[in-house]
Amino acid sequence: MGSYVIRRLLRTLLVMLGISVVVFAFVRAIPGDPATALLGERATPEAAAALREQLGLNKPWFINFGNPTNPLDAQYPRYVGQLLRGDLGSGLKSNIPVREELASRFPATAELSVAALLFALVVGLPAGIVAALRRNSFWDNAATTVSLVGVSMPVFWLGLLLSYFFAVQLGWLPPSARLGNEYSIEPITGFYVLDALLRGQPAAAWDAVRHLILPAVALGSIPLAIIARITRSSLLEVLGQDYVRTARAKGLAPRHVTIKHALRNALLPVVTVVGLQAGALLGGAVLTETIFSWPGLGSWVYEAISQRDYPVIQGGVIFAALVVSVVNLLVDLSYAALDPRIQYR
Amino acid sequence: MKKLLLTALLTILPTAGAATLVYGANGDPVSLEPGNITDGISILVQHQIYDTLVNFKDGTTDPEPGLATKWTSNANATSWTFTLRQNVKFHDGTPFNADAVVYNFSRWWDPKHPEGFRNQGRTFEIWGQLLGGYKGDATSVVKNIVKVNNTTVRFDLNKPSSVFPEVIGSGYFGIASPTAIKKEGAKYGTPASKPVGTGPFIFQSWRTGDRVTLAPNRNYWGNKPKVDGLVIRAIKDASQRLNELKAGTIDFTSDLTPDALKSIQADRNLVAVKKPSFNVGFLSLNNRNQYLKNDKVREAISMAINRKAIVDAFWNGLGITNASFLPPVLAWANSKNVPATYRYDPAAAKRLLAEAGYPNGFSIDLWYMPVSRPYFPTPKPIAEAIAADLSAIGIKVNLKTEDWAKYLEDRNKEPGFDMYMIGWTGDYGDPDNFYGAYYGPSASDDINWNPPELQRLLEQGRAAVSRADKARVYAQLHEITYKANYRLPIVHSQPLAAARTYVRGWVPSPLGSEAFNNISLVGKR
């Protein structure tokens, strides 16, 4: 088990290096560069060229053939040099260190994703189970319809709708943001709800929860639908298997058969999907964060892409890739916990 | 459980701070360091923290004293002397004086300034853009910056510039505390630093992607702020900004889409605010194109576009169309020999096209921007309307677009776009800022038309000191560019803003943003 984890982590490092090369080249291959994006309507060729030089973007990407004494005087070797020193660079124009920004943005996205996933699990799992147990009933049809709507509704539209209905019309919840103007929470973990509780600010914690609800529902809508559908089909498959029939024949209580025998086995594919959703949530967060003015990773990288802010895009993507790799590793390890037949060597 | 949750939700309704003013901005500032930004949100926040030497009268582009109480020039506008306001202190207690002014301007102008941090991401490109370049450049407008005494600073220029006070009064050039810059170093202006100016509000904190919090400067030299605090929130999505305004979680906002007007007017808690127009949205025609080279073809195109119908349809009463490249506040610089509006006459346009040798028309590309801009909020449908007008006289239009950064780059790359939509929002209240941007020496790459006469007139305009002299020069420019039909003005739009009814004293500036020290909240709960 230990050596397996170490091997996986080493492989992750290699993946990160590969990703750094790919992202580095990709962001520069996209037409349009930071100088024109920054200058906007003012981007005359002369002005753009001057700014490009000031920003150090006129150097070659990988190898500087024009400089035989120092061929590594190029953008990528410099970037990797920085990376190895733990420096992810700074926003091209804002000068904000990428590492500092990641430290404040990632917890925001993580808090939102965890809340969205919780919402998806709490609603999606029971819905899937009920749908499987009461197959073709009203509940099954209802769960299927709701999950279909969840998958097909665009997140930005759902977000605006939720915000309009619950914030503007009913006034129950705030329309967007992470915290009200009247509160301020000194960060410990970066998760506002948790930090407010740790700092003994229950009112602020409640305010953070209220701000979390709508974006979490919007972001969780797609995973919810997927989880409900996978749970249903996986449970149906398991319920039809011999050992379940045997358990029932032995006279075990139906609830016991469902939960202890069937559900545990049926959960394996659900766990895989939840793991995959962790990556999808990071992606989905781009829209949700923009709609709900959520100061997270997604809206930040999205903005950086339109501004061609290379260091931010690179740092954000590499970090997101790292998160997805680690989550996948954790999912793989959790299989062993769920199914004793699985062992890692 | 459900009931419990519902009751809890109902009992804890949103509560707003007593008199904290909350503005909904369409994003985050890029930096809070003056001179190093070009985006509207950074300028808006900086207007609160910093003062400029020259201010503008409320709601106009007319200069009035700021940190400088008066300014005078020599006869040919090559030397400007500014008398500074006395007894003003920066928020950190540093005295405001000639040393502070020289320090700030030198950082922007001198590439070798030891605290310019140019090797650490500082570009100060707006200085180079508006003032011809930096110290040592042959094109630099500024020759020397001199401290005459503790309250007097003189700027010697390489060439005449009658608009110099307006240029340095624009929101880019707030005066920061030298002590703070020295203390914070290259970190200055980032969220980890504390930006310090002399302005009506004092910086408190900046949570990126979320909000900037400011406190009132009770010792402000001008009108003291009337609120207990100011929060500028980043709310990127325009519909969500409107939601926030309706929910009462923000007090006022700008940059709403024209289609929001009706919904604002229908809400009795809100007031729609039409900001004064200070932009132009236009169509550029490229002289490299074999058809567009022909004067009659360009005239026919101009005559075939039903500008009024387009503006009525897409701006919802928030735009005007006239025959000038200049927005209405600069109408004094228009020629009386040019009609007030463009003529719309498809039949005459068709005849002109036939005279030009194209009775059956031709096919041409029209590029529209992929992003919403204040002057063109919905570029694609507007482009479609223009295409429909042109097809009525036989010109088949192929609509094209691409990524915004690429669009901006490709339009200036030979052979450029045949026809494309673009616009301009002014930085300061002088015709040169509009004409210079799109008819100046470096702005001809996209249309390949740059007659020496235009350059001569632009130089003359910059050197003219009295408004009468300026008006004479720009009237000629207006006539030439109107007849040439290379850039066809379509609209001067009025950006849509809105406020809760209890917000009083907000006078939006045509220049995009203003200090919020005159705003009060009457009866905000």
Helix (H) or strand (E) holding B205: strand B201-207
User: Which tens digits make up the pLDDT trace of A194-247?
Assistant: 999 999 999 999 999 999 999 999 999 888 988 998 999 898 888 888 888 888
Whole-angstrom distance, CA of residue B53 vs CA of residue B435? 25
A342 Cβ contact partners less than 8 Å away, ≥ 6 residues apart: A335, A336
Cβ <8 Å between B125 and A299:
no
Percent of chain A with pLDDT over 90: 28
Closest-CA residue of A relative to B23 is A181
Q: What pLDDT digit, counting tens, does each position of A59-81 carry?
A: 888 887 887 888 878 888 888 88
For residues B519 and B515, give the distance between their C-alpha atoms in angstroms, rounded to a whole number. 9
| pLDDT of res. B182 | 96
Q: Hey, are the CB atoms on B236 and A43 less than 8 Å from each other? A: no
Amino acid at B327: P
DSSP-assigned beta bridge partners for residue B70: B83
State how beta strands B79-84 and B142-149 pair. Answer: unpaired
What are the chain A neighbours of B404 within 8 Å (beta carbons)?
Answer: 32, 37, 306
Give CA–CA dist A51/A49, Å, rounded.
5
- How do residues B213-229 score in pLDDT, each as one tens digit? 999 999 999 999 999 99
Angle between helices A310-338 and A2-29 (to 10 degrees): 150
Q: Scanning every residue of chain B, which has its alpha carbon at the shortest distance from the alpha carbon of A42?
A: B437
Comparing alpha-carbon positions, the chain A residue that sits nearest to B229 is A181
Position A147 confidence tier, pLDDT thresholds 50, 70, 90: confident
pLDDT value for B5: 47
Q: Give the pLDDT of residue B443.
A: 63
With beta carbons under 8 A apart, name residues in chain B contacting A94: 30-31, 190
- ipTM entry: 0.85
Q: Kindly indicate the confidence band of residue B7, based on its pLDDT and cuts at 50, 70 and 90.
A: very low
pLDDT at residue B14 tops 70: no
pLDDT for B244 beyond 90: yes
Mean pLDDT of B52-77: 94
Buried b (16+ CB within 10 A) or exposed e, B468-482: eebbebbbbbbeebb
In Å, how far from its chain's centre is CA A278?
A: 5
Q: Taking CA atoms, what residue in B is nearest to A287?
A: B237
- pLDDT the model gives residue B525: 67
pTM of the model: 0.88
CB contact under 8 Å between B118 and A50, yes or no, is no
Pairing of strands B211-216, B63-65: unpaired
For B32, the closest chain A residue by CA position comes to: A94
Taking 70 as the threshold, does the pLDDT of residue B1 lie above it?
no
- Cα angle value B254/B201/B429 (rounded, 5°): 55
CB B500 within 8 A of CB B269: yes
Quote the minimal CA–CA distance from A220 to chain B in Å.
Answer: 19
Residues of chain B with C-beta less than 8 angstroms from the C-beta of A202? none
Of B125, B249, B422, the CB nearest to A47: B125
pLDDT recorded at residue A60: 80
A247 touches chain B (CB under 8 A): no
> ∠ CA(A62), CA(A65), CA(A67), 5° rounding?
110
Please give the structure tokens belonging to residue A235.
């449970």
| Chain B contacts in chain A segment 71-90 (CB below 8 A) | 90
Q: Provide the pLDDT for residue B264.
A: 96
Query: Tokens 């939006």 belong to which residue?
Result: B508
Q: Which of residues 121-160 of A touch B (CB under 8 A)?
A: 156, 160
Q: Residues of A with CB below 8 A from B12's CB?
A: 206, 210
Residue of chain B with shortest Cα separation from A29? B406
Model pLDDT, residue B53? 98
Give the containing element (helix H, strand E) for A219. Answer: helix A202-239
Name which of A46, A175, A177 is nearest B210 (Cβ-Cβ).
A177
Please check whether residue A299 touches B, CB under 8 A.
yes
Min Cα–Cα distance to chain B from A321, Å: 22
CA–CA dist B256, B260 (Å, integer): 7
In terms of average pLDDT, the best of A323-332, B96-105, B414-423, B503-512 is B96-105
- Name the residue with higher pLDDT: B37 or B152: B152
Q: What is the pLDDT of residue A329?
A: 84
Mean pLDDT of B252-265: 93
Residue A258: band (very low, low, confident or very high) from pLDDT cuts 50, 70, 90? confident
Read off the pLDDT of residues B358-378 as tens digits, 9 standing for 90 and up.
Answer: 999 999 999 999 988 889 988
Query: How much of chain B exceeds pLDDT 90, in percent?
Result: 78
Reported as a single tens digit per residue, the pLDDT across B440-452 is 876 668 899 989 9
Would you say residue B89 has pLDDT above 50? yes
Which pLDDT value is given to residue B499?
97
Residue B9: pLDDT band with limits 50, 70, 90: very low
Mean pLDDT for the stretch of residues B136-158? 96
Q: Give the tens place of pLDDT for each residue, B449-492.
A: 989 999 999 989 988 888 899 999 999 999 999 999 999 999 99
Question: Chain B partners of A101 at a C-beta cutoff of 8 Å?
Answer: 208
Residue B211: the pLDDT is: 95
Q: How many CB atoms are located within 10 Å of the residue A170 CB?
A: 12
- Could you read off the pLDDT of A280-296 as tens digits, one per residue? 787 778 889 999 999 99
Buried b / exposed e along A228-267 (16+ C-beta atoms within 10 A): bbbbbebbbebbeeeebeebbeeeeeeeebbeebbbebbb
Per-residue model confidence (pLDDT) at position B150: 97
Q: From the list A100, A291, A306, which residue is nearest B240 (CB)?
A: A291
> Which residue from A minimizes the CA distance to B188?
A95
Query: Across the interface, which of A43, A47, A90 has its CB nearest the CB of B121?
Result: A90
Q: What is the C-alpha to C-alpha distance for residues B512 and A89, in angstroms, rounded to an integer? A: 32
Mean pLDDT over B68-97 rounds to 96
Smallest Cβ–Cβ distance between B12 and the set A48, A97, A206 belongs to A206
Residue A182: pLDDT band by 50, 70, 90 thresholds? confident
- pLDDT value at residue B6: 45
Contact B403 A95 (CB under 8 A): no
Put simply, the answer to whether A168 touches B17 (Cβ < 8 Å) is: no
Q: CA A25 to CA B392: how far, in whole Å?
A: 46
**Cα separation, A306 vs A34, whole angstroms:** 9
Q: List the helix and strand counts (H, then E) for chain B.
A: 16, 21
Among candidates A92, A175, A295 on the partner chain, residue whose Cβ is nearest the Cβ of B249: A175
- Reference A92, options A75, A107, A80; nearest CA is A75
- A135-144, B326-335, B465-474: least confidently modelled range: A135-144
pLDDT average, residue stretch B268-290: 95
Closest Cα in chain A, distance from residue B75 (Å): 31
pLDDT of residue B444: 67
pLDDT at position A109 is: 93
Among B285, B336, B302, B343, smallest CA distance to B474 is for B336
Residue B442: count of CB within 10 angstroms of its CB: 15
* Cβ–Cβ < 8 Å for B107, B33: no
**Contact criterion met (CB below 8 Å) for A160 and A169:** no
* Chain B residues close to A87, C-beta within 8 Å: none
- Give the span between the Cα atoms of B82 and B71, in whole angstroms: 4
A171 contacts B243? CB cut-off 8 A: no
Interface test with B, best of A52, A93, A123, A290 (most B CBs within 10 A): A93
CB distance from A31 to chain B under 8 Å? Answer: yes
A150: number of CA atoms within 13 Å, CB side?
23
Looking at per-residue confidence, does A5 or A216 come out higher?
A216
